[in-house]
C-alpha cells in the first residue's frame, strides 16, 4: 500500500464520486503507480514530482500523455493535480521482452512506434522539450563527478565514447519520441496495443527509440534487421545499420548512467546497483560489436 500521506492525497482528489480502494502497482523506476477502484470502475493514478536530474518535467509528461491519447496511442488523461494524474484504466496484458520479440507482435509494436513518430507532434500543445541523448549523457557525467559514485574514474571515457557515437549516428532527422521503450510500457487489450508512460518524451532521433527498443528487449541481430525493415519499409542500408548500431550503444550508455545517477539520488525501492552492473555489461558488449563491425 502507499504511505498514509500519499494515500490521503489520492483520496482527497475531487475527481472521486464515492469512497475508493487503492492498490499499489509495483515495478516503477521513476514514478509511484496505483490502481484505484471507485464505484466498480478502475483507474490508474500516477504520482511523481519533477526530476530535473533525469530531465523529467511533469508538465511535459502531462502534455505528451494528452497528445498521445489524441493520437490514438495511449489511455485518456482524466484528471491531474499537484503531481497526481488519473488515467483511464485499460484491461490488458503487459508485455515482457519475449512478447515484444514475438514475430506476431513485432510488426504491431513497430507500427505503434512509427505512429508515435509521425503523428504525436500534430496533437501536442504548448512547449515541446528535446531529449537529446548525447546532451543527457554529458549532463549525467557532470552530475556523477560531484557524487561519490564508484564509477567516477570511468566518466571521462564514457563521455569520449558518447561524443564519437554522436558523430557516427548522424546525419539526423528528428521526431517526437517516447524515449523509454521498455517492454512494460506496451499494453495489449486483445484487440490493439497501447503505449504508456511519457516521462521522457521529447524531440529526438527516431533511431534512439528503435535502438532503445532493441537494447531493452534483447533483440538478436536478425530481429534488429526485421525491426528496421518494418519501420523503413525497405531493407536497411549499410549506412543505416551503422547509425542504428551507434544509437543502440548510446541508448545503453544513457540507461547505464541513468542508473548510476539513480543509485545516488533516488528514494524508490529498486536495486539500482544491480541494474547499473547489468546495463554496463550490455553496453560494453554492444560497443565491442559496434567497433568490430566498423573495421570489418
Task: Please list the pLDDT of the chain residue by residue as tens digits (296 residues).
Answer: 445 689 999 999 999 999 999 999 876 667 789 999 999 899 999 998 999 999 999 999 999 999 999 999 999 999 999 899 999 999 999 999 999 999 999 999 999 999 999 999 999 999 999 999 999 999 999 999 999 999 999 999 999 999 999 999 999 999 999 999 999 999 999 999 999 999 999 999 999 999 999 999 999 999 999 999 999 999 999 999 999 999 999 999 999 999 999 999 988 788 999 999 999 999 999 999 999 988 77
Q: What is the 3-state secondary structure (H, E, C) of the chain?
A: CCCHHHHHHHHCCCCCCCCCEEEEECCCCCCEEEEEEECCEEEEEEECCCEHHHCECHHHHHHHHHHHHHCCCCCCEEEEECCEEEEECCCCEECCHHHHHCCCCHHHHHHHHHHHHHHHHHHCCCCCCECCHHHHHHHHHHHHHCCCCCCHHHHHHHHHHHHHHHHHCCCCCCEEECCCCCHHHEEECCCCEEECCCCCCEEECHHHHHHHHHHHCCCCHHHHHHHHHHHHCCCCCHHHHHHHHHHHHHHHHHHHHHHHHHHHHCCCCCCHHHHHHHHHHHHHHHHHHHHHHHHC
Within this chain, domains 4-88 and 93-295 share the same CATH topology: no
| pLDDT at position 2 | 46
| pLDDT at position 1 | 42
CATH code of the domain made up of 4-88: 3.30.200.20
pTM comes to 0.94
Domains of the chain, by residue range, sit at 4-88, 93-295
Class of domain 93-295: alpha beta
Amino acid at each position: 500500500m502507499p504511505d498514509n500521506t500519499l494515500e490521503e492525497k489520492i483520496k482527497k482528489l475531487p475527481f472521486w464520486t464515492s469512497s475508493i480502494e487503492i492498490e499499489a502497482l509495483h515495478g516503477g523506476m521513476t514514478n509511484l503507480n496505483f490502481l484505484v477502484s471507485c464505484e466498480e470502475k478502475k483507474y490508474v493514478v500516477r504520482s511523481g514530482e519533477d526530476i530535473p536530474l533525469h530531465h523529467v518535467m511533469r508538465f511535459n509528461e502531462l502534455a505528451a500523455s494528452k497528445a498521445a491519447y489524441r493520437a490514438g496511442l495511449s489511455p485518456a488523461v482524466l484528471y491531474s493535480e499537484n503531481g497526481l494524474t488519473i488515467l483511464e484504466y485499460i484491461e490488458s496484458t503487459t508485455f515482457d521482452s519475449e512478447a515484444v520479440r514475438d514475430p506476431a507482435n513485432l510488426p504491431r509494436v513497430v507500427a505503434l512506434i512509427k505512429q508515435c513518430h509521425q503523428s504525436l507532434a500534430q496533437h501536442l500543445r504548448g512547449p515541446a522539450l528535446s531529449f537529446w541523448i548525447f546532451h543527457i549523457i554529458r549532463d549525467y557525467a557532470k552530475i556523477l563527478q560531484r557524487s561519490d559514485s564508484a564509477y567516477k574514474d570511468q566518466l571521462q571515457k564514457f563521455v569520449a565514447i558518447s561524443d564519437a557515437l554522436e558523430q557516427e549516428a548522424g546525419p539526423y532527422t528528428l521526431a517526437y519520441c517516447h524515449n523509454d521503450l521498455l517492454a512494460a510500457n506496451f499494453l495489449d487489450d486483445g484487440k490493439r496495443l497501447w503505449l504508456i508512460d511519457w516521462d521522457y518524451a521529447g524531440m529526438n532521433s527516431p533511431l534512439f527509440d528503435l535502438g532503445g527498443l532493441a537494447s531493452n528487449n534483447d533483440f538478436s541481430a536478425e530481429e534488429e534487421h526485421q525491426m528496421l525493415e518494418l519501420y523503413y519499409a525497405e531493407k536497411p542500408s549499410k549506412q543505416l545499420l551503422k547509425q542504428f548500431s551507434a544509437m543502440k550503444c548510446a541508448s545503453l550508455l544513457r540507461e547505464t548512467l541513468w542508473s548510476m545517477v539513480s543509485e545516488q539520488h533516488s528514494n524508490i525501492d529498486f536495486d539500482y546497483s544491480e541494474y547499473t552492473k547489468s546495463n554496463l555489461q550490455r553496453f560494453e558488449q554492444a560497443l565491442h560489436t559496434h567497433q568490430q563491425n566498423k573495421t570489418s
